[in-house]
Amino acid sequence: MTTLFISDLHLDPERPEITRLFGEFIEGEARGADALYILGDLFEAWVGDDDPSETGAFVASKLKALAGAGVPVAFIRGNRDFLLGEDYARRAGMAILPDPAVAMLYGTPTLLMHGDLLCTDDTAYQQFRVQTRDPRWQAQFLSQPLPARIAFAQQARAASAAHQSGLKDQGTMETITDVSPATVADTFRRYGIGRLIHGHTHRPAIHELDVEGRACQRVVLGDWYDQGSVLRVAPDGIRLDML
């Protein structure tokens, strides 16, 4: 009995070996799981479900087969693939969950997030997030022709890289792009749960915290840039491993 968590694969035609590793993981270990949760940034970029990308089609076919084999697949949108819609989710046989969502894992209520909502010190990013999660902004964006959307995504990625290197120059990169400890504590308080699992920061770790005398656990998933990363949750404990 194991439930698997992955995030931040950033699948991209430019790194085909990681897409292959994902395929092997889905056809291998994932087949024996109770469920698979993908906590965002499955794709490096997503400009609409109508994008005929080969990587998207490959991933949908693998996930659909997994779901067809009886393993439920759930997805939370990340900051790269926040435009992934119900149409693609249907093709992939996966359910889109809100961010955050609560899952009951072998008796332990667990809060699941992509993780960007916890990075409240990056006010420029949070403003961008509010703007791009507005349904009117999304409808307007998705109504543009595909080449225009692809160009916008390239610009947004360049702007994000420039923003991050600006933070590096100021020496604030490490703190601003990580979670805010106050927001983490507030999240544990607000939801009254003892375990939180998220990705986004690419800082894989299991943090044991004390929130007002209550023992809490924050698990951060790793990215799939140079290898895979998986969290295995079982009734008797959790393990965070590289693949």
**CA distance linking residue 83 with residue 80, whole number of Å:** 8
The piece of 49-57, 72-80, 91-99, 149-157 that touches Mn ion (CB under 5 A) is 72-80
Total residues in contact with Mn ion, by rule CB under 5 A: 4
149 vs 200, which CB is nearer to Mn ion? 200
222 binds Mn ion (CB under 5 A): no
77 vs 195, which CB is nearer to Mn ion? 77
CB 196 within 8 A of CB 216: yes
Q: Which of 19, 79, 187, 229 binds Mn ion (CB under 5 A)?
A: 79
* Residue 16 CB coordination number (10 Å): 13
41 binds Mn ion (CB under 5 A): yes
Which DSSP string corresponds to 16-41? Answer: HHHHHHHHHHHHTGGGGSSEEEE-S-
Residues whose CB is less than 8 angstroms from the CB of residue 117 and which lie 6 or more positions away in sequence, other chains included? 99, 100, 129, 183
Q: In angstroms, give the least distance from the CB of 78 to Mn ion.
A: 4
44 binds Mn ion (CB under 5 A): no
31 vs 163, which CB is nearer to Mn ion? 163
**CA distance linking residue 200 with residue 165, whole number of Å:** 17
228 binds Mn ion (CB under 5 A): no
Q: In angstroms, give the least distance from the CB of 199 to Mn ion.
A: 7
78 binds Mn ion (CB under 5 A): yes
Strand locations in 26-94 (E): 35-38, 73-75
Task: Tell me the residue nearest to Mn ion as measured from the CB.
Answer: 200
Q: In angstroms, give the least distance from the CB of 33 to Mn ion.
A: 23
Residues near Mn ion (CB under 5 A): 41, 78-79, 200
